[in-house]
Amino acid sequence: MGHSLQPKSWQRTLLGTATSLAIASGGILGFAGSASAQEDTFKVGLVTFLSGGASGPFGVPAAQAAETVIKAINEGTLPAPYNTKGINGLQLESVVIDEAGGPTKQVEEYRNLVQRQNVDAVIGYISSGDCLAVSPVAEELKTFTIAFDCGTPRLFPELESPKYFFRTGLDATADNVGAAHYLKETRPDITRVAGIQQNYAWGQDSWNDFQLSMKQLMPGAEFVDNQTPQIFQGSYGTEISALQTNRPEIIHSSMWGGDMEAFVAQANVRGLLDQATALLTTGESGFNRFKGQAPDGTILGGRGPFGAFMPDNDLSEWFSKAYEAQHGVPPSYPSSKMAQALLALKYAADNSGAEGKPSDEQLASTLKSATFESVSGTVRMALADGHQALQPMYYGEYYYSSETGPELRNIRSYSGACVSPPDGHDAQEWIKSGFPQADCN
Amino acid sequence: MLTIWAILIDGLIYASWLFLVAAGLTVIYGVMRILNMAHGSLYALGAYASASSIGWYYANGGDQLWIAFALLAGCAIVIGAIAGLIMERGVLRLMYGRDEVLMLIVTFALLLILEDLMKLAWGTTPYFAYQPYAALGRFNFGVLSVSGYQIMVIGVSVVVGAILWFWLERTRTGKILRSIIHDREVSEAMGVNVRRMFTMTFVIGAGLGAIAGGFTAPIISVVPGIGVEVIVVAFAVVVTGGLGSITGAAIGALIVGLARAASIHTMPQLELFIIYAVMASVLIFRPNGLFGQATARKI
């Protein structure tokens, strides 16, 4: 105890202030040049939370990552194979929009970006609701769009025959199937499992997928409780008591951001995390902030090979150094996922074969079913008819020392073909029928 | 049996926090007839001031718990009182005598302004200040444990309630305030400086909101929007207890706290529903709340 989790860096405070000023002055912030569309620039709309509860842990780190990567793209300082200047030779210009406000507002913002600001592509969306609302509009407006973070498994099943909409991150099914595999491998004897999830679609879907996966992989485990506090509730005293009275050995949680970190700190003080091990599917975003608040052995996921789970390669090494040098902290998984989406855009543009600015059709046809290199390793756009990334899922245990800082131990990875259903399969049916065609070797 | 004890303990803890949050709201409404939507922002201001000061203190090598608590309470009270004074002097006093609905809209505008000002001041990154919460340890009852900090919040809530009761019932100022509540015009005619009493009441109410935020900060992650979240449940409590009644706020908080704890332990899906179900049930039988008094309308 006694370690501050408070952000102290003035840089972060200043960024937050600058971000807020941008919001106050119209909600638009650009990372390069003016906002006028020109033929020698490629203009991308970036949509991420700049206000509200999701901004601090997710939205602002993602915006910071965009700032770092866009600067490097324009200067041509990215490692190979992205070491050419710009996007197919064009300078990359960004327009940053606040994702706060809900799906209806985001649809308006999307139309505004495309029809009035004349952006050439859009990257964004942390909220699953926003992804679901915006994706049909992207198809209607025929605009190349990459969802960098939202995790709903319903995205592509509900979007028939996508052409322009892509997702370069994994969905919640992969998180929770991977979590069940990790428990089976590392804690095969557990019998009592509980959960605590934010009470909306993300939490409910996550718990459903996890329960179904556990029933297949560890049928002897009993589900003793699942608490469903409101999103951004902040205080979890009663939920912690309820979990204590049910005596679980594992507490699964898909809570994210400040809610997740607050729960961990409170449960630790109350002794709940001495009685049970927490499995946090999005816990990596707190990796550099938990310090003494999360007990050793807490199981963390990073929604794939992102943040602290990034594999060693030239791109991840460059990104980690550049991000930390610019923003004062190592990148967390939302930052890595934004970097991945921008690399996907550069890959699509550079390989489109276009003279000058590539069209939406050229970008879409190039990224469809593509394989490209990223900070998270090799990404295959192998699902949803080439529109959804297929990548491995990682979990590990958190350990902290005041001398050496945080580290991950006992890391296990599960291939994309192990944690994601084959193309065209419904996720829940795939899990219920025992993961047919899954390749977990 | 364990679950029943857990419900009672958790209900009491949550009720004490609810009372802290709702006390300032009900004091301001009771005296000034202003349903202060900006109360949530005052709560958030207190939380930010507390989290910032504690974070600064520990980041600079501080290790004395009593200093941390002094900073927590002191900074919250000061920022709440200053914000309250500015709001009352700068905006609300220009609106006195207007319709209650207009005052509601004005305070809602203040809430929006304060939310953005807080983003400008503190950014959007969560602030954590767990040191006081962790330092007070926990008490174990079998598998169940209660944090020392939460026990302390019950004590703070009781002390705040007792001071408010003494102030309103046993002091000269309290008697003057009650005369204003009873009839503002007659009080003015008798020589009471109503505007000054309004300023004092609003500053005290604002300070109470900020204190609630200050004592909550070590438990939660302080992020933009916490004030909006809390104002809704605070309204539910004061409406259940009766707008303007300190006793009503205390009883309303206790009922809502126990009902919510029972729901979480037995039917967690109904947690939010149960709060408003309690409020609706009370209002069906007592439209002015448990301790609210129907008043004749002056024409």
Query: Per-residue pLDDT tens for A379-418?
Result: 999 999 999 999 999 999 999 998 999 999 999 999 999 9
CB contact under 8 A, B140 and A269: no
Confidence at residue A38, expressed as pLDDT on a 0 to 100 scale: 58
Q: How would residue A18 be classed by pLDDT, with cut points 50, 70 and 90?
A: very low
Sign of the dihedral through C-alpha A250, A253, A257, A261: negative
Q: At what angle do helices B2-32 and A237-245 cross, to 10 degrees?
A: 170
**Element housing A192 (H / E):** strand A192-196
How long is chain B? Answer: 299
Confidence at residue A79, expressed as pLDDT on a 0 to 100 scale: 96
Average pLDDT (B220-248) is 87
Average pLDDT (B226-231) is 85
- Domains along chain B with CATH numbers: 2-285 (1.10.3470)
d(CA A41, CA A91): 5
Residue spans per domain, chain A = 10-171+310-390, 173-308+392-432
Which A residues in the span 14-33 are in contact with B, Cβ-Cβ below 8 Å? 14-17, 19-21, 23-24
d(CA A213, CA A183): 11
Query: Per-residue pLDDT tens for B103-160?
Result: 999 999 999 999 889 988 987 777 888 899 989 999 988 888 999 999 999 999 999 9
Q: How would residue B299 be classed by pLDDT, with cut points 50, 70 and 90?
A: low
CB contact under 8 A, B145 and A245: no
Q: How many CB pairs under 8 A join A and B?
A: 188
**Element housing B178 (H / E):** helix B172-182
pLDDT of B292 > 80? The answer is no
With beta carbons less than 8 A apart as the criterion, state whether A315 and A81 touch: no
A366 or B244, higher pLDDT: A366
State the amino acid at position A60 in one-letter form: V
Confidence at residue A11, expressed as pLDDT on a 0 to 100 scale: 39
Any alpha helices (H) in chain B, and if so which ranges? 2-32, 39-59, 65-90, 100-122, 131-135, 148-170, 172-182, 184-189, 194-216, 226-241, 246-266, 271-285
Q: How would residue A30 be classed by pLDDT, with cut points 50, 70 and 90?
A: low
State the amino acid at position A380 in one-letter form: R
Nearest beta carbon to residue A4 from set B13, B58, B150: B58
Confidence at residue A23, expressed as pLDDT on a 0 to 100 scale: 39
Instruction: Assess whether the region A10-171+310-390 and the region A173-308+392-432 belong to the same CATH fold.
Output: yes
d(CA A244, CA A250): 11
Mutate which of B50, B130, B270, B271 to disrupt the A interface (most A C-beta within 10 Å)?
B130
Structure tokens at B281: 């049930």
Confidence at residue B63, expressed as pLDDT on a 0 to 100 scale: 86
Q: Write down the mean pLDDT value for chain B.
A: 90
Q: At what angle do helices B2-32 and B246-266 cross, to 10 degrees?
A: 150
CB contact under 8 A, A234 and B119: no
d(CA B134, CA B136): 6
Sheet holding A91-98, edge to edge: A28-29, A91-98, A41-48, A121-124, A145-147, A165-167, A388-390, A377-383, A371-374
Average pLDDT (A421-441) is 91
Nearest beta carbon to residue A56 from set B14, B124, B144: B124
- How far are the Cα atoms of A2, A11, A46, A287, B226 from residue B131, in angstroms, in the given order? 5, 24, 37, 19, 20
Q: How would residue A39 be classed by pLDDT, with cut points 50, 70 and 90?
A: low
d(CA B160, CA A155): 51
To the nearest whole Å, the CA of B101 is away from the closest chain A CA by 25
Residue A167: φ, ψ to 5°: -130, 125
Measured between CA atoms, the residue of chain A closest to residue B142 is A245
State the amino acid at position B86 in one-letter form: I
Measured between CA atoms, the residue of chain B closest to residue A268 is B134
Query: Per-residue pLDDT tens for B43-56?
Result: 999 999 999 999 99
A84 or A10, higher pLDDT: A84
d(CA A168, CA A161): 17
Confidence at residue A297, expressed as pLDDT on a 0 to 100 scale: 96
CB contact under 8 A, B268 and A239: yes
- How far are the Cα atoms of A142, A241, B25 from residue A129, in angstroms, in the given order? 20, 31, 34
**Element housing A277 (H / E):** strand A277-280
Mutate which of A8, A9, A11, A20 to disrupt the B interface (most B C-beta within 10 Å)?
A20
Q: How would residue A35 be classed by pLDDT, with cut points 50, 70 and 90?
A: very low
**Element housing B86 (H / E):** helix B65-90
Q: How would residue A232 be classed by pLDDT, with cut points 50, 70 and 90?
A: confident
Which B residues in the span 25-84 are in contact with A, Cβ-Cβ below 8 Å? 51, 54-55, 58-59, 63
Sign of the dihedral through C-alpha A46, A50, A55, A60: positive
Nearest beta carbon to residue A262 from set B58, B147, B221: B221
Confidence at residue B296, expressed as pLDDT on a 0 to 100 scale: 58
Confidence at residue B204, expressed as pLDDT on a 0 to 100 scale: 96
CB contact under 8 A, A7 and B6: no
Number of Cβ atoms within 10 Å of the Cβ of A232: 21
Confidence at residue A335, expressed as pLDDT on a 0 to 100 scale: 96
Nearest beta carbon to residue A258 from set B59, B219, B223: B223
pLDDT of B244 > 90? The answer is no
pLDDT of A1 > 80? The answer is no
CB contact under 8 A, B264 and A239: yes
In sequence order, the β-bridge partners of residue A122 are A45, A145
Query: Per-residue pLDDT tens for A123-142?
Result: 999 988 899 999 999 999 99
With beta carbons less than 8 A apart as the criterion, state whether A47 and A122 touch: yes
pLDDT of B16 > 50? The answer is yes
Taking the domain A173-308+392-432, which CATH number applies?
3.40.50.2300
3-state secondary structure (DSSP) of residue A148: coil
Structure tokens at B38: 């900006």
Percent of the residues in chain B that have a pLDDT greater than 70, as a whole number: 98
Confidence at residue A40, expressed as pLDDT on a 0 to 100 scale: 84
Q: Write down the mean pLDDT value for chain A.
A: 89
CB contact under 8 A, A270 and B146: yes
A113 or B181, higher pLDDT: A113
Confidence at residue A31, expressed as pLDDT on a 0 to 100 scale: 61
The DSSP output letter for A48 is E
The upper half-sphere exposure of residue A113, i.e. CA atoms within 13 Å in the direction of its Cβ, equals 35
Q: What is the pTM of this model?
A: 0.84
Q: In the CATH scheme, what is the homologous superfamily, with its name and number, of domain A10-171+310-390?
A: Response regulator (3.40.50.2300)
Q: How would residue B270 be classed by pLDDT, with cut points 50, 70 and 90?
A: confident
Q: How would residue A29 be classed by pLDDT, with cut points 50, 70 and 90?
A: low
Percent of the residues in chain B that have a pLDDT greater than 90, as a whole number: 63
In sequence order, the β-bridge partners of residue A298 are A398
Confidence at residue B259, expressed as pLDDT on a 0 to 100 scale: 95
3-state secondary structure (DSSP) of residue A149: coil
d(CA A196, CA A92): 42
d(CA A285, CA A287): 6
Q: What would the DSSP string read from start to end of A237-306? A: HHHHHHHHHT--SEEEE---HHHHHHHHHHHHHHTHHHHSEEEETTGGGGTTT-GGGSPTTEEEE-SSS-
